[in-house]
Structure 1
């Protein structure tokens, strides 16, 4: 099956063109001209459609025994192959870096999400040039390339309008990009970029991000294949679903009304029964015990059950919705020229289902990342608004565990398959004839790149853009496409995220869990004395029986192997700190905000990411706005930082200035002024932080001044301690993304003139 690597060089880019014929004094005395030709893909090279969902458990979709219908996955699986022993890293940025480079996530410097990066080789979040992406290699070998959806692999401090852009999607080898540069995004009011350009807000009242991303992917495929039908393409689609916020159209949510009233324990039992019947888990697979700390469904009261069942209905609608729209993309590709020679790779999750909603579920995921627990008694008050534009909602941790049936644990827990084992489906109509077949070889996300290189006939370069390349660390599994019994090529694989560790070797798995993902704050921990478990996964598919006591020597062998792998692949030093790493200022990460005390912005400055915005948390600061208010008055947003999940804004309405502080969507505090005069006005918002040095999230006093005169004051009982938002920063003169509060309609552009806005840090 492999195409010969006859004409694909090991050094890219190719040398500059040089005419080799005779050149005389005129063209009449010269050999005929030869124009440099574009790079050609190997003859017969297939198209590639790579889809990766977010935060999805093994037992979530019906194709693998779950309770959420998945007709797109069903159809693709019936046409191709299901893989039931495919593994991710247990976290999004690391999995995606490994997927694109074919190297382990620490080798690709992405041992954790970009917002929690530290200054060690395996954790900078800066993918090294020595680990070039497959997109860049394919592009230089004649492929058209596009990335639609989530990009969580650009360092947070490089996502502003001034770049640098060499680590945006376009700089990673994709000719076209449409999506967002963040870990998650508001699906009703997203901040999107087309290549490097901010996308204007949609005026469609029924807009939803997933549908938009599908439309863009379809549009790119149709345009590209119309222009160059003989040129192969690589399309990477990474929708934000099923990551929080769980935002879905109400009609999709209502399809699942009452379907999860039986609770998560019954769901797990029913799912395993379906999995066994489908054959996606082997006979004898056992249901693991409910992970430590998660409540039994029967222990809940009636109101808790009602709330949590509704949260699951919302999630199910969200998950079914993305399956539908990915189906639209696949169907569109199937109508293009050469469709039969297209490899469809559908990876059902970049990690297991997310437990970051906490034990009681969440109205705003950012509360978790700021270390605030939520109470069901508060959340149930908003049960009818879940899934809509008012909240950044997330279901309880126990539902995440149920979505990962039959395994233990969830996203973030790299030690166990609940965090790392994701379904994968591959179809290639021209080559794969075992339609509906099952493959059970041990695979890892780093195996995708070498498999695609072998399938396309493209040589993995030894040098790319002047930089010597690290060897690929994955292994091709191309032979499994045509041979059910193909030998296993991936024998050894380490796992590590936030010191949740695993070591696989020849059918055995050692597992050491550090912390549970629903605990945002973490105390003392010693990885050198942490407990290890041992599983024979050739006989125990679900990791249900710990054999550490029976086979101590095997466990010791695997633990020693982990430390060897950790040193080899830049996993060290181990770091178990959690939410505190999300604060860039505390960690000393690079920032365009720098160490300045003053920041000056002008009207039209929009979508400045949080990582490049003034670091105003846990300190006193002022915002000075020099305005020109016309005789007929003005209204609209003057300055805002953050959005739905947290932040603050200063706007005018009814002739008055209003300062709104969004305390992580749970509380919003407003301080309003007297009526402002017309003409040139200096409006100042002064925030006096009342905490001592090192104290986070303490109260603050707010004063509004107009032309030096106090016109309003109030007190904030508490403030945001660690971050306003994962995806939104500063806007001047308008409000891009989501709103600070719900008293105005976006984009709420200011109708006066803004000369400048100055932010001064007081501490």
Structure 2
């Protein structure tokens, strides 16, 4: 064991990259007569208490309906982050064995962090399709490396290659609901250059789902279907429709302290939490960053309440989407024979910070240290929260309400990060005792359970090799018998934070160990979940031997599940394959095509200086966008407007504009230079035919996942960079001028960019040394 210990921490070691899988299509069978339809509805970042059956004040009548005639699981746990939970749900494997020790925005090369589903792990969709099901998916995929989302990428990890007949949605981790940054249908990007003013993505996901079902039934009235509906709500930026927001106006004026107490009281009445449970208080409930509601200024209370009204509207819209699907199935006479599984991928998130934000990308996904004067929440009218002009996230005080009664949040291995709602419904199932279930169920148990309920055997081979044995087990016996036993043991890990549940006991290590301490080392806490389900009494000092035993048990589970190396020095997720260096080469773009994909665009501009070279021929009356990169969350735009060049820069909601001199007819060489300045700032300058034309001095650099919408040429796709320009011209398609050539030329990387590119040969050589 000592010989392996060095690999338990990253410690700056080089990565060894795995080869990509090849597509494989299993043979289809005919489903058994009367086989049930299956709908899995997964909601993003939904807290344990956010649905009516789990104590929420948010009206969720459709969720209530399936809960009243189904099974409500009070002891269901998932992974602490979204991609790992999705991988486990679809494969029945533990997250790291499924390749997802982290979300699909990392690529250090280790087996537990490939961020690609294993070639020898059949998905739930693949098994059901082989068993005679039609397989549909809408919404968030988030199971493909971000470097393989562009239009020339290997698609072996895209939904259709992993078992789905039809797909529509956003393959990235999230998107704007009013102006999605990129939509994919099946294997191709959707070429839509302008969205309607009342467009809303959740509505389209429902329409696409209904259309898939209708088209199946027109052609085959008997074939069962599997629909995986992966909501983009309620992940940030939290957005909702105005009519739904208005319905929740005034609901949260009492504040987060009172709402948390009210939810906890309802949970005890409903039996969702035991009567002896206590609500974590003081430091255990993050009181250091969550002020008492009554201590806030009136303007703060108004702003923060508005954030929660929008969040409630988003949850309301999830319920409405379920209702529309149920109504369609009821009309078809198929609702009773449809299994519905509704859950969340992890706990509610604290990424909004103490005050929430109206400038989501000013802090989300930013890995570098920010200057002291960095503005994380550009002030704007609270009435705009939830609408298309703002990318917002609610304050951590409301996230604590979402996770009632548990402590901590998404990405934590405390219960607030991993304890989620789960409801299973199947009205025509054989007579079984429905109602509450308090058995421990983990996300990897869902696929085996669904397959058994559907009467479909899991595939035993994929890609020409034997399939991995699943880690999950069917819990059909738990549905049938309230006294049946649930899961006994499960490990958890996220960015070095560790935990192990073993029976009534849970060991938690909230910070990564040092390399010297090893995988079982560092600081551990111990809780008895039978007597203290909300983790309020650390018993590690009382039971030191048991704590050490559970820590060592976690280490054994970690080796079995490819959890190592741990990110002990913060460098695991900054190491990436050298093949990505090609993304930082100059790119010549084509006007009027769908935007260059988000990650591909970012490699040209983020944490670096760059320039854009444009050869433009102007006729009389020429006008429109030359290039746009980003949206209301942050971006830059260059347009021919009113006879001159307009340069717009959106610094996370703070607008800057500069105009050049009149641009006459004829051919012109235009250069936009974006140069890095100290303190993570940029200077933007324009040259026309070699002569300086306009400048925007010293603005905050766009970081992390901003600009979020990729580069569009000849129009401003989707969410506009400059809202005022959008109000006058919408996407402002270029007319009266021709872009003869447009090229984005990346400059030197910023010293703030900590990315390390490794090639396979170098990685193997370093490990050998």
Same fold (TM over 0.5): yes
Structure 1: how far apart are the matches of 2:267 and 2:176? 33
Give per-residue Cα distances to partners, 1:432-482, cap 9 Å, x unaligned: 545751111100000011112222232222311313321101011011222
Structure 2: how far apart are the matches of 1:435 and 1:217? 31
**1:687 is the counterpart of 2:682:** no
Correspondence for 1:474 among 442, 464, 472: 472
Structure 2: how far apart are the matches of 1:146 and 1:111? 26
**After the TM superposition, which residues 461-610 of structure 1 pair with which residues of structure 2 at under 5 Å, given as runs?**
461-488=459-486, 490-514=487-511, 530-575=522-567, 587-589=575-577, 594=582, 596-610=584-598
For residue 610 of structure 1, report the CA deviation from its aligned partner: 2.3
Structure 2: how far apart are the matches of 1:682 and 1:512? 59
Give per-residue Cα distances to partners, 1:276-324, cap 9 Å, x unaligned: 1111222222112252333232332332222212211121122112211
Structure 2: how far apart are the matches of 1:565 and 1:410? 23
Correspondence for 2:122 among 120, 132, 137: 132
**1:668 is the counterpart of 2:655:** yes
- Specify the SS of the correspondent of 1:288: coil
The residue that corresponds to 1:33 in the other structure is: none
The residue that corresponds to 1:175 in the other structure is: 165
The residue that corresponds to 1:61 in the other structure is: 51
Answer whether contact 1:606 1:734 (CA < 8 A) is retained.
no
Q: 1:596/1:237 Cα in 2 relative to 1: closer, same or farther (>3 Å)?
A: closer
Answer whether contact 1:304 1:376 (CA < 8 A) is retained.
no
Structure 1: how far apart are the matches of 2:374 and 2:434? 45
- Specify the SS of the correspondent of 2:724: coil
Over the aligned positions, Cα root-mean-square deviation in angstroms equals 2.6
Q: 1:299/1:52 Cα in 2 relative to 1: closer, same or farther (>3 Å)?
A: same
The residue that corresponds to 1:189 in the other structure is: 179
Count residues with an aligned counterpart. 709
The residue that corresponds to 2:315 in the other structure is: 319
TM-score, normalised via structure 2 length: 0.87
The residue that corresponds to 2:760 in the other structure is: none
Q: 1:591/1:361 Cα in 2 relative to 1: closer, same or farther (>3 Å)?
A: farther
For residue 431 of structure 1, report the CA deviation from its aligned partner: 1.2
TM-score, normalised via structure 1 length: 0.88
**1:355 is the counterpart of 2:346:** no
Correspondence for 1:219 among 211, 217, 231: 211
Correspondence for 1:730 among 711, 722, 738: 711
The residue that corresponds to 1:367 in the other structure is: 362
Structure 2: how far apart are the matches of 1:452 and 1:214? 22
**1:755 is the counterpart of 2:740:** yes
Answer whether contact 1:58 1:404 (CA < 8 A) is retained.
yes
**1:158 is the counterpart of 2:145:** no
Q: 1:736/1:433 Cα in 2 relative to 1: closer, same or farther (>3 Å)?
A: farther
Give per-residue Cα distances to partners, 1:466-508, cap 9 Å, x unaligned: 13321101011011222211222x2210011112221011221
Answer whether contact 1:45 1:456 (CA < 8 A) is retained.
yes
Q: 1:576/1:269 Cα in 2 relative to 1: closer, same or farther (>3 Å)?
A: farther
Correspondence for 1:102 among 82, 88, 92: 92
Q: 1:377/1:101 Cα in 2 relative to 1: closer, same or farther (>3 Å)?
A: closer
For residue 660 of structure 1, report the CA deviation from its aligned partner: 2.1
Answer whether contact 1:363 1:379 (CA < 8 A) is retained.
yes
Structure 1: how far apart are the matches of 2:113 and 2:703? 23
Structure 2: how far apart are the matches of 1:265 and 1:376? 27
Answer whether contact 1:358 1:368 (CA < 8 A) is retained.
no
The residue that corresponds to 1:448 in the other structure is: 446
For residue 513 of structure 1, report the CA deviation from its aligned partner: 1.2
Answer whether contact 2:616 2:668 (CA < 8 A) is retained.
yes
Structure 1 residues 200-209 or 76-85, which shifts more?
Answer: 200-209
Q: 1:610/1:78 Cα in 2 relative to 1: closer, same or farther (>3 Å)?
A: same
Q: 1:685/1:13 Cα in 2 relative to 1: closer, same or farther (>3 Å)?
A: closer
Q: 1:156/1:377 Cα in 2 relative to 1: closer, same or farther (>3 Å)?
A: closer
Give per-residue Cα distances to partners, 1:384-428, cap 9 Å, x unaligned: 211111111111012101110010111111x21111111111111
The residue that corresponds to 1:206 in the other structure is: 198
For residue 336 of structure 1, report the CA deviation from its aligned partner: 2.8
Q: 1:311/1:14 Cα in 2 relative to 1: closer, same or farther (>3 Å)?
A: closer
Structure 2: how far apart are the matches of 1:378 and 1:51? 32
The residue that corresponds to 1:431 in the other structure is: 429
- Specify the SS of the correspondent of 1:223: helix
Structure 1 residues 302-311 or 610-619, which shifts more?
Answer: 610-619
For residue 360 of structure 1, report the CA deviation from its aligned partner: 1.1
Structure 2: how far apart are the matches of 1:14 and 1:660? 51
Correspondence for 2:254 among 254, 262, 278: 262
**1:677 is the counterpart of 2:664:** yes
- Specify the SS of the correspondent of 2:111: coil
Q: 1:202/1:218 Cα in 2 relative to 1: closer, same or farther (>3 Å)?
A: farther
Structure 2: how far apart are the matches of 1:658 and 1:587? 38
Stretches of structure 1 that go unaligned for 5 or more consecutive residues are: 1-11, 16-37, 516-521, 692-696
Correspondence for 2:611 among 616, 622, 641: 622
Structure 1: how far apart are the matches of 2:660 and 2:595? 27
Q: 1:576/1:61 Cα in 2 relative to 1: closer, same or farther (>3 Å)?
A: farther
Answer whether contact 2:519 2:555 (CA < 8 A) is retained.
no
